[in-house]
Each structure stands twice: as C-alpha cells, then as structure tokens.
Amino acid sequence: MESRGEPQPQPGNRMSQGDSNPAAVPHAAEDIQGDDRWMSQIWRELFSPLHALNFGIGGDTTGHVLWRLKNGELENIKPKVIVVWVGTNNHENTADEVAGGIEAIVRLINTQQPQAKIIVLGLLPRGEKPNPLRQKNAKVNQLLKASLPKLPNVQLLDVDMGFVHSDGTISCHDMFDFLHLTGGGYAKICKPLHELIMQLLEETPEEKQAALA
Amino acid sequence: MESRGEPQPQPGNRMSQGDSNPAAVPHAAEDIQGDDRWMSQHNRFVLDCKDKEPDVLFVGDSMVQLLQQYEIWRELFSPLHALNFGIGGDTTGHVLWRLKNGELENIKPKVIVVWVGTNNHENTADEVAGGIEAIVRLINTQQPQAKIIVLGLLPRGEKPNPLRQKNAKVNQLLKASLPKLPNVQLLDVDMGFVHSDGTISCHDMFDFLHLTGGGYAKICKPLHELIMQLLEETPEEKQAALA
C-alpha cells in the first residue's frame, strides 16, 4: 500500500513493540477533566442477548485500552468473541503507530484470552468534508488489512457502510457531529457486525479454519 | 451566599463583561484535531436558521447535543418544532461566539433553553456564572420575545469531587443573579442523581457525566412541563408565574 514516502516499518514487529511506538505504550488516562456516549435500542436488541459487555471509554487511545486490558479488564472472564474498536483518537500518533498499537492490543488479547476470536473494526471516516484524518484512518485500515492476517484468531471487519457520499461529504444523519454515529448510523454498522459475531459464536474449530481460508 | 474569602463581584456586572471575565469572551473553537468538525456543526446550525422556524431552541454543550440522540427528543421536543444547537465540549465562550455568529439569525423562537458551563475548566464558578449571564443578556438583545430557561449544572463524577462543588456554586450564583434579568428563569434538573452515599450511578450517567436515556427521561419531565407552560402563557399569566 502507499506510504507517501514514509519509511515502511515491518508490520507487526517494531510498531507493536512499546519501546519504539508511543501508541503501543499502555498508559492510564490522566484525570484532566473526564470524558465523551448513548446506548440506543440496538445494543439491547442485538448484543445484550449475547451476554455482551461494553468496555468503551470516550476519548480513549490505543495506549489507554492497552493499560485497561493489562489492569483487570480481561480478568476472571472467558469471552468467546472480543470486538476491538479504537484508534480514531490517537492524534499524537502516525498511522503506522496507530496500527501497531492495535496490533499490540490483539497480541495482548491472544496471550490473555487464547480462546477468544477477535474482531477488529476498521476506523471510520470522519469530518464533514475530506480532511487529513480520513486519509490517516484509511491508512491505518490498510496497514491492518496487511498485518492482521498474520496474527492468530483475529479478523478485520470494515464497517464503513458508504458513509462518505459521492460529493465527499458525511451526513449528520449518520454521524451527528461528523464523528459519532447516530442511532441510524449504528444500525447500519451493526448488521455486518452482528452477523459476524453470530457466525463466530456458532463456529466449531473445523468450521473456523474453513471460514478464514 | 458564602464566597470563602474571595472578593464578591457584582453579579451581572463585572463577570458578564468580556473584558474582565474570560468565560464571557466569545471565541470559536480551534481545529486542533484536523477535521474541522466544530465549524461544520456551527455552519449546519446557521443553515438551519435560514430554512427552519423553530418555536423552541436548545443551545449548549454535549448535555444538549446528546439529548437529540434519544427517542425522547422525537417524543417530547420535535413536536414543538425544536432545534438542537448543542456541541459537545463547548464552554460559555464557544456558545457566545456561535450565538453572535449566525445561530440566532432569521429565527424567532418563543423559548430558548440554555445548558452550558460544565466544560469551563479554565474558569472559576463566578466566571462561569458570568459567562452564562452574558449569554442570557445576548439573547435578550437579539431575541427579546424569547423566554429563556437556563438549566442548572448537574453534579458529575462517580464520587464527591471538586467539580461537584464548583457546579453547585455556579447554580447558587445564578439563582441570585438571574431573577434580575428579564425573561429568564433557572430550572434545576438535578433529579436526585447523587445518592445518599454520595455516589452517582452509571445508570443515570454512563460515564458519570453524560446522561443515559433513563437520566434524560428524568430531567425531561420538569423541562418539558416548563416549556409547555411558557409556550402557552400570555403576557399577563407570565407576570404571575414568575412572581
């Protein structure tokens, strides 16, 4: 994939090691102030019945999630499926670093929860009009598309349901602040997500090999 | 009210003047992240003013913005021809700038609901109250027909912490100062969110700041009631109600 002249790191190696990638360094959030969302009906309809827990915190970066997972949020549980969605708030990091941070999360989960099948959700485009963060998020997704197949028990799911219209704009009917999804926006992404989760929950080990081939 | 040794400013005077109160200085948000979302949202609101005719306008921060994401908005406020001009993260200065730059143009709402102040981390309680008063004064000037409801700041954080005291102090200051301004009242929407053990439940505020659907349902009862009352009042009834 294009890197526009930036050095191309080895996916899955240097960038998911904490010592050279700040996005792969676990850190707790400073309580600077607090903060960023709503549980629409869709959680109760589609995910509560699957005995799902939601460990999302608004504003979190890959480093915050890594810290949380290392500090108790994977203890005493044995989920069959783990959905990871983080990276859009890593403003201090390059796309390569963000992808590495996500890979570090996947590796950590592989270690602590070897039975769990991981779904990494692709970062969505953001902002009303074309802007550098859209390119950055797309690059993170491209990097993950190349690197995640090399890790066990994980797949990347692209949940961009055509949010960018032909004129390059995103509608506030999908993302009320051009970042966070509305109920309607969530309904769109939850179709493929719910389908994949159901598939992974029902798969036997033999079926899984075939599905991922 | 106590001021713990601090100088007591004249409420409504010094603190709602921009030159001595930073919370009363209108300022646009900088695009730090790089996708210009704040300005995009502001521009949408300005466009809304051009082709819509709201009877009720909500303006403020995420407490206002998120309200529109729940069913309750469609049930209680859409039928009143309400518009929602909330932007998450906004301070009094941001709201002042937006109201001065198009968000009060071409419309003539009967009721304007203002809810902002909890994000003013750089300001003291006095400054925040002054910033809210500046917003009220601006609305009085631009929308003299509008009846203003200022919502009190809610407690925040799972356990007792300084921001709870600060928000409570802002409310106390407003309770004293708003009666002196025309066409405005303070509505306390704290529906007992702090339990007897001092904690706030994540069932009311999922992140101990933002309301859940259940939390919004609780505050919308008195809010909706008051809005309905103000929409129906004649000038004579209004005098009596505010006495």
pLDDT at B46 over 50: yes
pLDDT at B43 over 80: yes
CA distances from B94 to A64, B24, B229 (A): 29, 9, 29
Tokens describing residue B210: 């933002």
The pLDDT-based confidence of B198 (bands split at 50, 70, 90) is very high
**pLDDT by residue (tens digit) across B112-152?**
999 999 999 999 999 999 999 999 999 999 999 999 999 99
Tokens describing residue A111: 């270690």
pLDDT at B17 over 70: no
> Looking at the domain assignment, is residue B3 inside a domain?
no
What CATH code is carried by the domain that includes residue A141?
3.40.50.1110
Nearest to A42 by CA among B71, B79, B62, B77: B71
Q: Which residues of A touch B210 (CB under 8 A)?
A: 36-38
- CB neighbours of residue A94 within 10 Å: 18
Choosing among B30, B33, B61, B119, which should be mutated to test the A contact, i.e. which has the most A CBs within 10 A? B33
> Looking at the domain assignment, is residue A189 inside a domain?
no
* B56-60/B111-115 β-pairing: parallel
Task: Please tell me the distance from the alpha carbon of residue B174 to that of residue A16, in angstroms, as a whole number.
Answer: 51
> Looking at the domain assignment, is residue B179 inside a domain?
yes
pLDDT at B215 over 80: yes
Lowest mean pLDDT among A206-210, B13-17, B224-228: A206-210
**pLDDT by residue (tens digit) across B72-121?**
999 999 999 999 999 999 999 999 999 999 999 999 999 999 999 999 99
Q: Per DSSP, what are the bridge partners of residue B113? A: B58, B149
Find residues 131-190 of chain A whose CB sits inside 8 Å of chain B. 131-134, 172, 176-179, 182-183
Q: A74 with A113: CB under 8 angstroms? A: yes
Q: A82 with A113: CB under 8 angstroms? A: yes
> What pLDDT score does B5 carry?
47
Give me the percent of chain B exceeding a pLDDT of 70.
88
| Average pLDDT score, chain B | 92
Task: Please tell me the distance from the alpha carbon of residue B128 to that of residue B116, in angstroms, as a whole number.
Answer: 9
> Looking at the domain assignment, is residue B157 inside a domain?
yes
Place of tokens 């009042």: B233
Q: Which domain holds residue B92?
A: 36-227
The helix/strand count (H/E) of chain B reads as 8, 5
What SS3 state is found at B113?
Answer: strand
Task: Please tell me the distance from the alpha carbon of residue B119 to that of residue B212, in angstroms, as a whole number.
Answer: 18
Q: B183 with B140: CB under 8 angstroms? A: yes
Q: Which phi-psi region, left, alpha or beta, contains residue B27 (left: φ > 0; alpha: ψ -120 to 50)?
A: beta
Question: Does the active-site annotation cover B62?
Answer: yes
Question: Does the active-site annotation cover B210?
Answer: yes
pLDDT at B197 over 70: yes
* A117-121/A81-84 β-pairing: parallel
pLDDT tens for chain A, 213 residues long, are: 444 444 444 444 557 655 577 777 776 654 333 222 344 689 999 999 999 999 999 999 999 999 999 999 999 999 999 999 999 999 999 999 999 999 999 999 999 999 999 999 999 999 999 999 999 999 999 999 999 999 999 999 999 999 999 999 999 999 999 999 999 999 999 999 999 999 999 985 555 566 666
Domain count, chain A: 1
Task: Please tell me the distance from the alpha carbon of residue B13 to that of residue B130, in angstroms, as a whole number.
Answer: 8
Query: B3 versus B87: which is more confidently predicted?
Result: B87
pTM metric for this prediction: 0.86
> Looking at the domain assignment, is residue A126 inside a domain?
yes
Task: Please tell me the distance from the alpha carbon of residue A30 to that of residue B125, in angstroms, as a whole number.
Answer: 23
> What pLDDT score does B225 carry?
97
Which residue of A lies nearest to B203 if distances are taken between CA atoms? A39
* A154-157/A117-121 β-pairing: parallel
> Looking at the domain assignment, is residue A173 inside a domain?
yes
- Closest residue to B35, CB basis, from A58, A127, A183: A127
pLDDT at B24 over 90: yes
> What pLDDT score does A140 carry?
98
> Looking at the domain assignment, is residue A78 inside a domain?
yes
